[in-house]
Structure 1
């Protein structure tokens, strides 16, 4: 198990991404995936209030609602660490104090729970003073609405500023950091955020850990992406250098008798600051490859090969 920063909360070393729930996974499939994940030892489900507002006919909150219905039907709230996020829902845009409070209350209703275990500021809000946002999160902590604070998509300087404000005021410091980080997107995290994550003992949980499906090996070119649900998100990863990463993953996977995504996630787990990569499964058939990554230990030569080939991917 991994630690959620300073909180004393233990985390399974793979977070289940909830972005597919209520979107590409219907109710039956969503419930089955969450059941299988918990039965396999998992305990961390990551979502956001905006999931899946981008889909036609959706308004945001579909994933939280699906998770809430599953929790109500299974009665396993105490077995699950629920992480969700604020700032991007169409009705709750930004991180002003009133918005944070109202968005948290809406998330609680959809999730059908009286507390959120880990609440992230999803994206930085340049229009709201950071002190106001930090204070709004502190109010939620003091009210018992949230157990831990997380930061996502912030620059290293803004993360440091958040800590500075919290310490100055005697408020709760963040416990988690959620950056965009994977084998074909390394520089933006490793250049600066990794340092502040280590310095502040943050539980780092990278999103797009499989590069929107590119690091599963199923997209080898533009023709493979055409018409796919993740076409727009995954297309930015396709390059000659990125495909060499996939080929290296494929070779290592064959040597272990596992799949490409298993190795990609195992590499992320090997990074010293990473507590739990986030990966989603549309169906239960996709889940075993993700769960196996927690058990797979890559050799030093394999890690070096992946470090080398991925370092050649343009920033």
Structure 2
């Protein structure tokens, strides 16, 4: 188990991404995936109020609603649910009014009294940061949210949020959710990790498997030829350098009897300040690899080798 920053949230060190629920995983598949994740020891679910508004005919909130239905059906008392605000079509931005209304809507869909971890999904340049910080602090004071977090914020804006929270005497963020994986390292490691170390914040990275590339499914330069929603996005990594990362992951994984995906998740989980990478499963048979990624221990030599081979493979 791992603790998120200075919070009292102790979780399995791999978060199940909820972006696929109601999109590439229908209700039955979503329930089966959630059941397998919890049966395998998982207890941390990440979603957002905007999932999956991008799908034709969807309005946002589909993922939260399915998670809420599953929670009601299964009655799991110790599940930690993280969700986010700022991108739902009906709740754009981070004004105080929007933050409060969006949180109340998320609570209704999830069927819970409190959101365990509430993220500002994207920075809102049109709203004074003081207003947003105060709004999140009020949600904690009023018991609607247990802990605050930020996603997709620059290190400078995270530092400013922390300063404002201290000045106002409201809850500080306990976690940051950045884009971070073996193929996307330099930006996070140069600036965000040092900030997280100084301020005792945990990283909960998204795109932990590089949009599916780090599952090992795309073993040629023609990744875009695969007929999946993320194939085109994964194609950007299918270079000679990127495929060398996959080959290294495969070799190290084989030594542990582990999959490429599990090995990539283990590397990320073992980076400084990382508490729990986020990874999604749209099929039941993918869950075991995610759980294994939360448990697999790599040697210092293996971590160094993956550091080296990935150093020039991505961003």
TM-score by length of 2: 0.97
Q: Is the 8 A contact 2:222 2:235 kept in 1?
A: no
SS class of match (1:120)? strand
Cα deviations across residues 1-24 of structure 1 (Å, max 9, x unaligned)? Answer: 111211222111111111111111
Cα deviations across residues 39-59 of structure 1 (Å, max 9, x unaligned)? Answer: 111111000011111122211
**In 1, Cα distance between the equivalents of 2:261 and 2:29?**
20
SS class of match (1:218)? coil
Matched, 1:248 2:267: no
Question: Shift of residue 273 of structure 1?
Answer: 0.8
SS class of match (2:275)? coil
Tell me the residue number matched to 2:56: 56
SS class of match (2:173)? coil
Tell me the residue number matched to 2:218: 219
**In 2, Cα distance between the equivalents of 1:200 and 1:214?**
32
SS class of match (2:222)? helix
RMSD: 1.2
**In 2, Cα distance between the equivalents of 1:112 and 1:3?**
25
Residue correspondence of structure 1 range 191-202 to structure 2 within 5 A: 191-202=190-201
**In 1, Cα distance between the equivalents of 2:49 and 2:238?**
29
Unaligned runs of 5+ in 1: none
Question: Shift of residue 235 of structure 1?
Answer: 3.0
Tell me the residue number matched to 1:33: 33
Unaligned runs of 5+ in 2: none
Question: Shift of residue 191 of structure 1?
Answer: 1.1
Q: Is the 8 A contact 2:193 2:272 kept in 1?
A: no
Matched, 1:205 2:176: no
Distance change >3 Å, CA 74–CA 179, structure 1 → 2: same
Cα deviations across residues 85-124 of structure 1 (Å, max 9, x unaligned)? Answer: 0011111111111111111111111111111000000011
Question: Shift of residue 253 of structure 1?
Answer: 1.2
Tell me the residue number matched to 1:117: 116
**In 2, Cα distance between the equivalents of 1:181 and 1:85?**
18
Cα deviations across residues 183-206 of structure 1 (Å, max 9, x unaligned)? Answer: 000011111001111111112110
**In 1, Cα distance between the equivalents of 2:183 and 2:3?**
26
**In 2, Cα distance between the equivalents of 1:102 and 1:295?**
38
Q: Is the 8 A contact 2:29 2:282 kept in 1?
A: yes
Matched, 1:172 2:178: no
**In 2, Cα distance between the equivalents of 1:127 and 1:221?**
43
Residue correspondence of structure 1 range 2-81 to structure 2 within 5 A: 2-76=2-76, 78-81=77-80
Query: Segments of 4+ in structure 1 off by > 4 A?
Result: none
Matched, 1:138 2:140: no
Distance change >3 Å, CA 233–CA 59, structure 1 → 2: farther
TM-score by length of 1: 0.97
Residue correspondence of structure 1 range 220-239 to structure 2 within 5 A: 220-221=219-220, 223-226=222-225, 227-239=227-239
Tell me the residue number matched to 2:162: 163
